[in-house]
Amino acid sequence: MDKTLLYEGKAKKIYSIHGKPDIFLQEFKNSATAFNGIKKDEIEGKGILNNKISSIFFEYLISNGIPTHFLEKISDNEMLVKKVSILKIEVVCRNIAAGSLVKRYGFVEGTELKKPIIEFYYKSDELGDPLFTEAHIYELGLATESELNIIKELTLKINKLLKDFLIQKKIKLVDFKLEFGKDSKGEIILADEISPDTCRFWDADTNKKLDKDNFRFDLGNLTDAYIEILNRISN
């Protein structure tokens, strides 16, 4: 396949494919980063695990009516996706207090929230992905009010679908980050990835962390946690 590198991020590379103007190739890297790139490592096999895990989640969401960029997993660490322009908004949805909710507002870690909290962060490495409001989004011209309403509605639907799926696998969906893109028709669709890099997953019985917090805070072996997630969602 003739491909050209278009973009390299911290965890993935995006390529255009010669002769296929509507499709990108998304390659998952082995790099692990945290705290806006301050902590870094290469973890053998992480790209493969995240590609497999993301593919399963995307297929599940598509089969439940969620529009996504996912087309096909084509190798251990690569998937084909629809070409989209990514909106510079990171959408975080939370069900249980953890991470920056604890740090910023003093919630007790593990507290169940009365209802899901959606937050928006400005996708900007230079600015350190700051938390921002809808007014900032409109002022910066990143999305219109009706686009943001679609994003919020899709995020809540995705949250319910993932939560219901995961609890059957004895996994609590604590929080997660989504990115959305606009396809060639201007439709807003789910993009990026859904993996233990971008979600907090806790064992439903023990609250053991099965996600990137193992790497962020040196809690345990990242690979073992990601294999555990893959095994549970595959069965």
Q: Which residues bind ligand C5P (CB under 6 A)?
A: 90, 92, 99-101, 129, 175-177, 198-200, 212
Residue 170 beta carbon to ligand C5P: minimum distance, rounded to whole angstroms = 19
Q: Give 129 or 134: the residue with its C-beta nearer to ligand C5P.
A: 129
Work out how close the CB of 99 gets to ligand C5P at its nearest, in angstroms, rounded to a whole number.
Answer: 2
Rounded Cα gap, residues 218 and 222, in angstroms? 9
CB nearer ligand C5P, residue 17 or residue 86: 86
Task: Choose between 77 and 198: whose C-beta lies nearer to ligand C5P.
Answer: 198
* Three-state secondary structure of 158-212: HHHHHHHHHHCCCEEEEEEEEEEEECCCCCEEEECCCCCCCEEEEECCCCCECCC
* CB-nearer residue toward ligand C5P: 52 or 200: 200
Residue nearest to ligand C5P (CB): 99
Q: Which of 52, 56, 32 is nearest to 166 (CA)?
A: 56
Query: Min. distance of Cβ 198 from ligand C5P in angstroms?
Result: 4
Closer to ligand C5P at the Cβ: 143 or 196? 196
Exposed e or buried b for every residue in 65-101, given b needs 16+ CB within 10 A? Answer: ebebbbbebeeebbbbbbbbeebbbbbbbbbbbbbeb
Q: In this complex, which beta carbon is closest to ligand C5P, that of residue 10 or of residue 20?
A: 10
Whether 189 and 69 have beta carbons less than 8 Å apart is answered as: yes
Q: How far is the CB of 222 from ligand C5P (least distance, A)?
A: 13
How far apart are CB 4 and ligand C5P at their closest, in Å? Answer: 26
Q: Where are the beta strands (DSSP E) in the chain?
A: 3-8, 12-17, 20-28, 31-34, 39-42, 70-75, 78-82, 85-96, 112-122, 131-132, 171-182, 188-191, 199-203
- The least CB distance from residue 129 to ligand C5P, in Å, is 5
